[in-house]
Amino acid sequence: MSRRIIPVADFSAAPIVSGRMQAPSGVLHDTLSRPLRDLRISVTDRCNFRCVYCMPRAVFDKDYAFLPHSALLSFEEIERLARLFVAHGVEKIRLTGGEPLLRKNLEFLIERLAQLTTPTGRPLDLTLTTNGSLLERKARSLRDAGLTRVTVSLDALDDTLFRRMNDADFSVADVVNGIAAAQAAGLAPVKVNMVVKHGTNDGEIVPMARHFKGSGAVLRFIEYMDVGTSNGWNMTEVLPSADVITRIAEHFPLAPLEAHSPAETAQRWGYVDGSGEIGVISSVTRAFCGDCTRARLSTEGKLYLCLFASSGHDLRALLRSSASDAEIATAVAEIWQGRSDRYSQLRGSQAAEAREKSGRRVEMSYIGG
């Protein structure tokens, strides 16, 4: 049987810089008047988990060809791009992967990024998403380097189920201990993300809510999404967020909370007894494209404008040419100003179905969630 090959970077194009330079003004809008405010930077395409919905072992096996180190953006290149994005209005940077803690000396990059400030002089919201397996030993050094917060993925408390889902024999204790270490280090509030796959781990919804209630951590439930092509996504495996809230409310009364900002992806709910909150991210049943302010930078410097994108823009080619900061900043501006992505709102439409048939979509493990 031939191995299934999932292309992740074959459809990117190098941006063409126009002759008219656009100096960053701190405000940049796309075709739908959405500002650029958030940048997610993937620092590695490697991960020590093989989660069934992200990097299934049938595809990402021992023979899978990950990117060579020379293809990855260096810390200096990442810092240079980040500085230009911040000049355009980015206020929050999230480091992702793969598993970002596998990137050697990541603290050095965090130290560099922590020195950046917004055009109004405010420090960045500098965060990181991790599977938590290495967090216990790294939490203090990450905080000392300038990291603000962490988001930890945990899809079950049942150890047998969790090991089956991560398919790499990591225990729940590894992640729970990492969460505790992050809280102790001051990386708070810790957010804990659970991807809910109907028929697989939805029985863990209430146990997870019970465990993190009153812990200081914010638990968020994410609808299983059709990101990439390697996970065999099927709508029947999506449990709507409304059902998640109903299940939890049967045990712990909830009340809706106001969003922190219009661009926030999670709908917030508070425990009526004041013991914390949960969130639900409903990118399948309740699209939030209209307020999306996020851009994504892949491990090798491709800029993607949507989690469900089929192509990107090769900023590494500019970085490694003789392009000036002004030229790169102009390219970023022109790319964002031409942005019209709103896949979740169009899901099921003729345009979306045509793209589905093409099979062209970037993998979540390549640009982060």
- Binding positions for [4Fe-4S] cluster: 47, 51, 54, 289, 292, 306
Evaluate the omega torsion of the peptide bond into residue 123 and state whether it is cis, within 30 degrees of 0: no
- Look at residues 135, 131, 42 and name the one whose alpha carbon lies nearest to residue 82: 42
Tokens 């390219």, residue?
331
Tokens of 302: 């491709």
Instruction: Let me know: does 368 contact 60? Beta carbons within 8 Å.
Output: no
- Which residues are annotated as part of the binding site for S-adenosyl-L-methionine? 53, 98, 153, 225
Binding-site sequence positions for GTP: 40, 94, 129, 191, 294-296
Sequence ranges of the binding site: 40, 47, 51, 53-54, 94, 98, 129, 153, 191, 225, 289, 292, 294-296, 306
Put residue 232 in one of left, alpha, beta given phi > 0 → left and psi -120 to 50 → alpha.
left
Pairing of strands 313-314, 302-304: antiparallel
Listed residue (365, 305, 259) closest to 7, CA to CA: 365
- Say if residue 368 is preceded by a cis peptide, omega within 30 of 0: no
Tokens coding 313: 């823009």
Per DSSP, 269 falls in state E
- Residue 227, Cα to own-chain centre: how many angstroms? 12
